[in-house]
Amino acid sequence: MDDSLVLKKRGYTLGISLGEGSYAKVKSAYSERLKTNVAIKIINRRKAPADFLDKFLPRELEILASLNHRNIVKTFEIFETSEGKVYMIMELGVQGDLLEFIKFRGALPEDFTRKLFKQLSLAIQFAHDLDVVHRDLKCENLLLDKDFNLKVSDFGFARRINYDDAGQMILSKTFCGSAAYAAPEVLQGLPYNAKVYDVWSMGVVLFIMLCGSMPYDDSNIKKMLKIQKEHRVDFPRSKTVPTECKDLMYRMLNPDVAQRIEIDDILEHVWVQSKSKSHDGSKRREDGPSSEAACSKKERKGESSKHPHGNENKKGEKVEVEAELGPKLSVEGKKAAEPSKHTKKESSPDARNDIPADSC
């Protein structure tokens, strides 16, 4: 049965395409029940590779059902038809993803960056407390809602941490994510602590938000790995990055996993905790659930789950979307490339360019 007919029977009116690959696609739709636009990820089991069906998809479905946090994209409903199609109804990132936003606007103001990064940190802290690791954090997987709040999406690489009989974490061995956001231990094919891997990727995201460029050039992996292992973080001369923020990034991008800062300490870092200046010059505490940073692990709760652009299989166990969002950001502060014309969003470019004063 046609997707539009299947969804119509459940109260969804199908809209535009948001991304498509060989066995998965994401479309926008209007929900009669929710009275709002949603994103629907449609996976065709008959076209998907075995490792995706046996490993990644079951993990994703189980994890999405367990995550409920305001800075993680909600999953409203998941159902499957007899024809082997899985439909995942999710919250729509109305303002698009973070990569598109930065391509349109350039480097973000410090206060706005701090707000988004704090929201990202709270979401990952929540997941890590449940022993859930994302393993594919990148700007494309961070969506913005109508009020410019950050929502973590795409848990296609996510998994739960397992422990041995002695209570020691069992390290991950599968290469996951994108090379530009990958930690050196992952690039080297070493067994890795996936929680610390998430922290490295967050450091790359923070660099991109403040500098509008990539910290590492992944066109030459061998050279990039050498720079990473030397613990070099080269900031563009054209950008003024606060000393406290440089310190945080330096701690997050530490090649020594034993020395890399952990998520709880990130939220306690002086740059994350510092007050910001509003656009009228007065000082105030940033918007966002900052009080959660001080909550105990038992008290941390929020809201939920995902809107990917469709995870696809390329080779082996690396699962990537085939419909890319466009050229990557440049390195060393060069002008970012325009986003792909194939990516369609509900909001206009003008709306994404302007950050409302009350969102910082």
Of 214, 208, 282, which is closest to residue 245 (Cα–Cα)?
A: 208
CA distance 332 to 217: 9
- What is the predicted pLDDT for the residue at 29? 98
How many other C-beta atoms are found inside a 10 Å radius of the C-beta of residue 53? 17
CA distance 194 to 45: 28
- What is the predicted pLDDT for the residue at 322? 28
DSSP code for 56? I
- What is the predicted pLDDT for the residue at 303? 41
Residue pair 43/57 in contact (Cβ under 8 Å)? The answer is: yes
Annotated binding residues, written as ranges, equal 41, 141, 154
- What is the predicted pLDDT for the residue at 34? 96
CA distance 215 to 232: 9
CA distance 139 to 102: 9
CA distance 74 to 100: 21
CA 166, 177, 221, 254 torsion-angle sign: negative
Residue type, 170: I
Residue pair 144/95 in contact (Cβ under 8 Å)? The answer is: yes
User: Would you list the DSSP string of 282-309?
Assistant: -EEPPSS-GGGGGS-TTT---------S
CA distance 323 to 312: 9
How many other C-beta atoms are found inside a 10 Å radius of the C-beta of residue 204? 23
Q: Calculate Rg over the CA atoms of the chain.
A: 20
- What is the predicted pLDDT for the residue at 230? 98
CA distance 108 to 209: 6
Residue pair 76/24 in contact (Cβ under 8 Å)? The answer is: no
- What is the predicted pLDDT for the residue at 308? 40
Domains and CATH numbers, the chain: 3-91 (3.30.200.20), 98-341 (1.10.510.10)
- What is the predicted pLDDT for the residue at 359? 60
Catalytic positions: 136
CA distance 143 to 346: 13
Residue pair 141/153 in contact (Cβ under 8 Å)? The answer is: yes
User: Would you list the DSSP string of 101-144?
Assistant: HHHHH-SPPHHHHHHHHHHHHHHHHHHHHTTEE-S---GGGEEE
Of 70, 95, 72, 91, which is closest to residue 145 (Cα–Cα)?
A: 95
CA distance 48 to 70: 31
User: Each residue's pLDDT tens digit in the chain (360 positions)?
Assistant: 899 999 999 999 999 999 898 999 999 999 999 999 999 999 999 999 999 999 999 999 999 999 999 999 999 999 999 999 999 999 999 999 999 999 999 999 999 999 999 999 999 999 999 999 999 999 999 999 999 999 999 999 999 999 999 999 999 999 999 999 999 999 999 999 999 999 999 999 999 999 999 999 999 999 999 999 999 999 999 889 999 999 999 999 999 999 999 999 999 999 999 987 654 333 333 444 333 443 444 444 444 333 444 444 333 333 333 222 233 454 444 444 333 333 333 333 344 446 655 565
Helices (H), 45-109: 50-51, 57-66, 98-105
CA distance 303 to 146: 17
Annotated binding residues for Mg(2+), written as ranges, equal 141, 154
> 355 — phi, psi (to 5°)?
-95, 115
- What is the predicted pLDDT for the residue at 275? 83
Q: Which two tokens stand for residue 78?
A: 């998941």
Of 264, 36, 74, which is closest to residue 155 (Cα–Cα)?
A: 74
CA distance 118 to 126: 12
- What is the predicted pLDDT for the residue at 354? 60
Of 301, 347, 21, which is closest to residue 156 (Cα–Cα)?
A: 21
- What is the predicted pLDDT for the residue at 355? 60
Kindly report the pTM of this predicted structure: 0.79
Helix or strand holding residue 15 (H, E): strand 12-20
